A and B are shown apart, each in its own frame.
Chain A
Amino acid sequence: MAVRSVARTTPYLEKVAVEARYNDVDPVYAETRDIRLFGFVLFLLADCVLFGAFVFAYLYLRTAAPTWPPVVDGKQLPRLDVAFGAMNSIVLFGSGVTMHFALESWKHLKKLAFNFWLVATILLGIGFLAGQAHEYMSAQMTWQGSTFGASFFTLTGLHGFHVFAGVCFLTVLGIQANRGVYTGSKYFGLVAGTLYWHFVDVIWVLLFFLFYLW
């Protein structure tokens, strides 16, 4: 009986707690939050267009080639290492999950958990970049040698740059969060960081399919 009563009142208590948190919000922040969020989503869409241009260039080159990977100097280039690519992909996708946990921890005012998940995200991001560096060093093609190499290094390089920028972004967010820039009701930067990191993950889904699986 008592358990049922608590279960019934818990959503109400949560609502009260959330409202209390939002009542002390800075009015300027409350007014501009949605506009800033919309602007950030537009930025992500613009980034989609950038990747889209390169992806369509790759599709054009690929469909125009008689064989894929193309033949260079009478020798067909080998395919990329699918097993390693899948493992590296999971490292990046795992970082998306940890970043989501970091944001949820912040929303629930658990600062220690937030720091733990944020550091895990940054480390996984660095791990992914290290995996990409290994892939570049072991690749049996060059940027100039073939259309396959050119498109692979350009697209994955552009993505790698985004991951690197994301790692820097998250590091700055972590420093700001620990210096008290964000509060329980004012944390737009953390939302933007999480959306950006998810976006980087999703771009990799497409690249992983195009270069490793197709």
Chain B
Amino acid sequence: MTAELLERLIACIGSLLVGGTASWQLRNELPLHGLDAQVTKLLLGLMIVGCVLALLASLNVLGAFA
């Protein structure tokens, strides 16, 4: 197993795990009100987008330049 493959594997499994957990946290935050809850919802949502980007990058869908 090459280092790159290992990195992709960690990124792929990690993005599924982190993205899934962040989605669950966002779901729990949804009924809450207040400025801190609203900002947290926005930031968690954007973090989930980041997890999707990392997942696509690990699967060579995004950032495949070679």
Contact = CB atoms under 8 A, between A and B. Distances in A.
State the main secondary structure of chain B at its contact with A.
helix
A194 B40 contact: yes
A201 B57 contact: no
Interface residues of A, number: 35
Contacts of B64: 82
B10 A82 contact: no
Interface in A185-208: 191, 194-195, 198-199, 201-202, 204-205, 208
State the main secondary structure of chain A at its contact with B.
helix
Interface in A92-106: 93-94, 96-97, 100-101
A94 B7 CA distance: 15
A132 to B, nearest CB: 15
Contact of A34 (B15, B17, B35, B46): B35
22 contacts: A34-B35, A37-B35, A41-B35, A86-B7, A86-B15, A87-B14, A89-B50, A93-B50, A94-B17, A97-B21, A97-B22, A100-B25, A100-B44, A191-B36, A195-B40, A198-B47, A201-B46, A202-B47, A205-B46, A208-B50, A209-B53, A212-B57
Interface of B: 4, 7-8, 10-11, 14-15, 17-19, 21-22, 25, 35-36, 39-40, 43-44, 46-47, 49-51, 53-54, 57-58, 62-65
3 smallest A-B Cβ distances: which pairs? Answer: A205-B50, A90-B14, A198-B43
